[in-house]
Structure 1
């Protein structure tokens, strides 16, 4: 038996970063009736878990309660991958109010102006840099800069760790970058130059400012025209002809149905295309394969999957380096140009982090994380069956394009050589190629066993260089020796292809574009072509992934689509 819930005007599917923005902005007008559905748990402002509030992101990222439990993804299918490298692995996709903003690294970067000018060139008219900048300013309160490039009244707190307060590892990395000719950029959200900078974070130095904390405080939640239903997974969108009229869902194990005048999908780069295909909107041949009646043939749904392929190189830090008054964590961010033929400038990024986990061993390890800011490879999301409980087939096709392969190998070499630089050898020891393996994931789960195991391991690593080298080589490092990879280009290429991982920025699977583009799914207002009253407002609507972490661009996108919806309603009211 399906329980019918009273109808709503705006039904938002997905309480992630974009959904929180939409719920706030649309319900600000008391005449709008708004319902927000979140598949995972809600976290109330006065009882938000400590790991989500923590300014160090490793604790929340390790808590499996905040993720889709059976979602997996594959690197790719190409012959440049080993059999093991093609196997699907657990994919960290947030399933909690606030979405990625509740568990991510809190990096609050906008991307480059050219990212959004490219969106406009790709058919998303009105999404150029000059058009989106006001919405970046609207969403933030930047505590470090007061000028025309920054906001001071927005809900999201943005601040940086000053260079003088970086940990010794990151200080040393920054000094080497400067020696190599990279300039120091004071404000990466206002200056598009290459160089390194203090990372802007979405926290105030004490607690995380997720989209849930920023956009859904108590006063917003108390609005009588806003309803939030957590633990509610939507199973399909319902239609009357070519008009969306509501959704079917599972709420705490019970079937419910909700009618709506507008259905807004904000379920993210993986689950928004999944839900569209379950509802009959997608490539008709694929829908026929899994036995789903076609409501609308949309070849672009689930195609064009993009993310930032990344890889890790780590090292051990002696006690005196990892202790003291300095900030310990990801603090510095290098943007640089690869110089690879056919690639744009400012196409690469490297993050320096003076801490690699919440546990005792994580505090002993520092990590460099290079990633491709502008990837050329494209993946896909496809259904495995017509059953809503079944997670989709997610394949990123990382490094499928030879330019991506060349750049990732070069970035890994650059990281390895940096860790072996004479200036770094004064503050670190035992550099090694680190991998985000299943063993690392399991050891990162915050529980008593892992606390005890890592505490014991950390004490052994601190005994002395001989013991540490043995343990690092035989237990910590799951890959080959770094020096061996540096001396063998073929071995390095093979290693990189099979060790590359997602930076957890899946996007672009339902991209905006023009009506004559067969692969565009929505217009420049997020409206799905061919379906009335169905809107997409999340990272899946991006035409191409920005050259940075996707949290702030996603917030901006949701702010702008909410603004368009409110303006449209105001126009309709004036005409009436």
Structure 2
């Protein structure tokens, strides 16, 4: 057993060697408290003050001249539920979420599931687990491939400059690096952003041991840096300010500390419609969330930028008459642009709780010691209060495995062949538009190839460093859902969210094979066998395909709170909603910038990718002027009285 008192004594001095970061004076952009304070027009109106919206607003207003209004549904909050590092999920129990449930999931025994999306300035970055992870090279190259691979902008190489611009990487202290054997490569990171990727000044020693246990499996790589776009097992940083040891997110990085009269934010306001003159966006209308009947109209002289996220961006497009004609007609909304892909192609990362408990885990201190060892618990509290170090400085763990399916499963070839030969239309809703079906078929062809590749991760497993481990995450689900307006009350109700979980039956095969690998890691691995793993969930008796199917249907959540894909960046003939410049097809002066534009999910938590997409979008917007393919009405009255 290690002498953990010695480790703690060493950790108490780690902050001395940490980098010193200069923080700007804590100012803010202009916060508007009343609808009446909003100007009649701005250069850009951004719908949504979340991860993407605030990033774009910050970048567009850097010149001090370009005027931007951000309209956010949620409040501006400095709650400790958001800022506190310990656990990373404090925000999950907070009031900073929309109150939305999915429809009953047919393949999950008709269970519903909460649709967890942030309702606060900062959006998802304010309430997520702070895991600073990006996908693989193949994940982002896949995006570009849907356009024939002719545009290198949407590839890993094309996005890397924006990943670097999005996050300020602060290396871990030398003592932590040496003790935990953390590796990193600063060439994959930047140092100019006010959104920080930081490291706790202390780590559980068991995390290193659990990471090393993967070395007994052939074919598993150990990249030197989590940002390299490679599969394997690695350490990754946290969205954390390493000086204050608090959450670093869109509000702190792209709103707080900014003093610009040309950057306006109004909160607790609901955008009701994108205003169109013919098929050109001219502004938006919005009301106060508190139930006021007053409707405010604000014009966008250059563009409207929709950054309301994977759930609300498609809803607002449909409410504005941009979307599938059949859905709009059912809701008695006039179709302005028939765009079948809006609200389709909905994706999220399914997760399945699976638990192994190590009865003989002898590497201490461990996370469990905080609750069973009074001396350690007291030290943990004191270490953080005095020196911002110790266990309370760790958010959800900082190491994990992102493993290619071809390494995980001996059945990879068979599953790839099954996906290639599948009648893809049969697993989509029966009234799916032919363009959306074509886009789905293109995605499945790409993922069938990825199942055989060692360069695409299908399995995410975070390491705890303690006596209890287990979480199954399918990084590339094959099923696709929908997010559509409620035809009964489209303006008054939240959208109808249907994950259509496990609607592609091959998802069950992929998830069960991922689980089989996890079982091998915990119980058949010579490096972990000594820890005496006991499988608590689902239990060692679950072995057949039918037993897996029953367990997964009962236990899986279709969401890791990463909604994406509903305004996909794809060719229009593949069900696309936005082009490679993120401009909405058929509509002038309107773009979407958020996770809804992802054509396929990256094999990672979505936050860092959203930042990168927003950084790239801001550059395209500055370079491209108002752009767009809409047409103005030549006669008659435009919406909003233009």
- Is the aligned partner of 1:153 residue 2:153? no
Q: Distance in 1 between matches of 2:92 and 2:531?
A: 28
Q: Tell me which residue corresponds to 1:371.
A: 473
Q: Distance in 2 between matches of 1:365 and 1:257?
A: 56
- Relative to structure 1, the CA distance from residue 571 to residue 497 in structure 2 (aligned partners, 3 Å threshold; closer, same or farther) is closer
Give 1:425 shift.
Answer: 6.7
Q: Secondary structure at the match of 1:311?
A: strand
Query: How big is each residue's C-alpha offset from its partner over 1:87-125, in whole Å with a ceiling of 9 and x where there is no partner?
Result: 322221111111111111111122112222211111283
1:187 to 218, 222, 225: 225
Q: Distance in 1 between matches of 2:287 and 2:145?
A: 40
- Is the aligned partner of 1:236 residue 2:273? yes
What's the TM-score, normalizing by structure 1? 0.80
Give 1:201 shift.
Answer: 1.6
Q: Tell me which residue corresponds to 1:334.
A: 401
Query: How big is each residue's C-alpha offset from its partner over 1:307-354, in whole Å with a ceiling of 9 and x where there is no partner?
Result: 212211124578963235565733222121222232412332222243
1:349 to 451, 454, 459: 459
Q: Tell me which residue corresponds to 1:135.
A: 162
Give 1:380 shift.
Answer: 1.1
Task: Report if aligned partners of 1:333, 1:349 keep a CA contact under 8 Å in 2.
Answer: no
Query: How big is each residue's C-alpha offset from its partner over 1:202-224, in whole Å with a ceiling of 9 and x where there is no partner?
Result: 11351111111111122x2x210
Q: Distance in 2 between matches of 1:6 and 1:281?
A: 24
- Is the aligned partner of 1:383 residue 2:456? no
Q: Distance in 2 between matches of 1:491 and 1:305?
A: 28
Query: How big is each residue's C-alpha offset from its partner over 1:209-250, in whole Å with a ceiling of 9 and x where there is no partner?
Result: 1111111122x2x21011111111111111121111221212
Give 1:51 shift.
Answer: 1.9
Q: Tell me which residue corresponds to 1:269.
A: 310
Q: Distance in 1 between matches of 2:521 and 2:287?
A: 51
- Is the aligned partner of 1:6 residue 2:40? yes
Q: Secondary structure at the match of 1:483?
A: coil
Q: Tell me which residue corresponds to 1:545.
A: 601
Give 1:417 shift.
Answer: 4.5
Task: Report if aligned partners of 2:103, 2:497 keep a CA contact under 8 Å in 1.
Answer: yes
Judge which range, 93-102 or 198-207, deviates more. 198-207
- Is the aligned partner of 1:108 residue 2:148? no
Q: Distance in 2 between matches of 1:171 and 1:102?
A: 28
Task: Report if aligned partners of 1:75, 1:398 keep a CA contact under 8 Å in 2.
Answer: no
Unaligned runs of 5+ in 1: 356-363, 434-480
- Is the aligned partner of 1:483 residue 2:483? no
- Relative to structure 1, the CA distance from residue 240 to residue 352 in structure 2 (aligned partners, 3 Å threshold; closer, same or farther) is same
Give 1:505 shift.
Answer: 1.1
- Relative to structure 1, the CA distance from residue 533 to residue 188 in structure 2 (aligned partners, 3 Å threshold; closer, same or farther) is same
- Is the aligned partner of 1:506 residue 2:563? yes
Q: Distance in 2 between matches of 1:544 and 1:328?
A: 27
- Relative to structure 1, the CA distance from residue 401 to residue 290 in structure 2 (aligned partners, 3 Å threshold; closer, same or farther) is same
Unaligned runs of 5+ in 2: 1-34, 172-183, 370-375, 377-389, 407-411, 417-447, 629-642
Q: Distance in 1 between matches of 2:546 and 2:574?
A: 40
CA RMSD of aligned residues (A): 2.7
Task: Report if aligned partners of 1:40, 1:66 keep a CA contact under 8 Å in 2.
Answer: yes
Q: Distance in 2 between matches of 1:482 and 1:236?
A: 50
Task: Report if aligned partners of 1:106, 1:201 keep a CA contact under 8 Å in 2.
Answer: yes
Q: Tell me which residue corresponds to 2:215.
A: 178
Task: Report if aligned partners of 1:416, 1:482 keep a CA contact under 8 Å in 2.
Answer: no
Query: How big is each residue's C-alpha offset from its partner over 1:495-546, in whole Å with a ceiling of 9 and x where there is no partner?
Result: 113322211111111112335x251111111111111111111111122111
Q: Distance in 2 between matches of 1:335 and 1:31?
A: 44
Q: Tell me which residue corresponds to 1:225.
A: 262
Q: Distance in 2 between matches of 1:518 and 1:350?
A: 29
Q: Tell me which residue corresponds to 2:21.
A: none
Task: Report if aligned partners of 2:276, 2:282 keep a CA contact under 8 Å in 1.
Answer: yes
Task: Report if aligned partners of 1:57, 1:106 keep a CA contact under 8 Å in 2.
Answer: no
1:523 to 560, 579, 588: 579
Q: Distance in 2 between matches of 1:5 and 1:31?
A: 15
Q: Tell me which residue corresponds to 1:36.
A: 70
Judge which range, 391-400 or 28-37, deviates more. 391-400
Task: Report if aligned partners of 1:146, 1:152 keep a CA contact under 8 Å in 2.
Answer: no
Q: Distance in 2 between matches of 1:571 and 1:90?
A: 38
Q: Tell me which residue corresponds to 1:257.
A: 297
Q: Distance in 1 between matches of 2:189 and 2:564?
A: 26
2:331 to 279, 290, 311: 290
Q: Distance in 1 between matches of 2:579 and 2:196?
A: 31
Q: Distance in 2 between matches of 1:570 and 1:484?
A: 61
- Relative to structure 1, the CA distance from residue 74 to residue 427 in structure 2 (aligned partners, 3 Å threshold; closer, same or farther) is farther
